[in-house]
Every structure is written in C-alpha cells, then in structure tokens.
Amino acid sequence: QVQLIESGGGLVQAGGSLRLSCTSSGRGSAAMGWFRQVPEKEREFVAGVSRGGGATYYSNSVKGRFTVSKDNAKNTMYLQMDNLKPSDTAVYYCAANPRLISYSTYEDEYDTWGRGTQVTVSS
C-alpha cells in the first residue's frame, strides 16, 4: 500500500518561511495536493499540482505566497510557504491519486493521504 509522509512543519514567526515535503513510497507519478485543517473546521484545499508537475493551482488565501512543485524522480512534492501569517496555522496534509492527470481541489478525488504535519505561525 502506498504511503505519503509529510515533513517540514514547525513553528515560525509571521513573515517567515517553511518548506513542506511529501514523499510517496509508491512508484510512478500522481496528481497531488496540499490541504490544511484547523480544529473544528473542515479540511480546506491549499494547492495542487498535476501528474507531470507542469500545472499548479492555489487557493486565493495562499496565492502569491505559496509555491507547490514536485520532483517525480524523487517521488516528492513540495510546498514552499513564504510570508506566513498566523491564519496559516493548521495541520497540513498531502494527498495523491495516480489516476488523476490534473490537480483537484476536492479531497474526495484523492485516494491516498499523509498523516499531516503541524504548521504554527506566531504573531
């Protein structure tokens, strides 16, 4: 069974940067996405990248500050987060579906999920 493992979360001051990584234990490429969740709220889409890595999409709340990319040779997706805000505090999850060609903003279209990594931005 394919597993996704996130890393790179932590505590950072507002205006700072973090880079999250999501490494897949499977072979082959997949459309992938980043989602985040805070307590008592639904998980929300953050960013997505197509199977080949050439197409990306962002939620309005992170556009211009976050950059998603993937290295298919390393089976790894990244989320570069710059100019972080306290409102970015959440558990960040990566997701994948090898049957998808493009990204999706809907969590139901992903069939594999990581366990999440905590990002905390202090003011």
Find all residues with CB under 8 Å of 1, minimum gap 6, and list them: none
What's the rounded mean pLDDT across residues 107-112?
A: 95
Q: What are phi and psi of 105, to 5 degrees?
A: -90, -5
In this predicted structure, what is the pLDDT of residue 29?
84
What's the rounded mean pLDDT across residues 40-54?
A: 95
In this predicted structure, what is the pLDDT of residue 26?
83
CA 120 – CA 122 distance, rounded (Å): 6
What's the rounded mean pLDDT across residues 19-37?
A: 93
What's the rounded mean pLDDT across residues 8-26?
A: 96
Query: Mind listing the pLDDT tens digit for each residue in 53-102?
Result: 899 999 999 999 999 999 989 999 999 999 999 999 999 999 999 898 88
CA 61 – CA 109 distance, rounded (Å): 21
In this predicted structure, what is the pLDDT of residue 20?
98
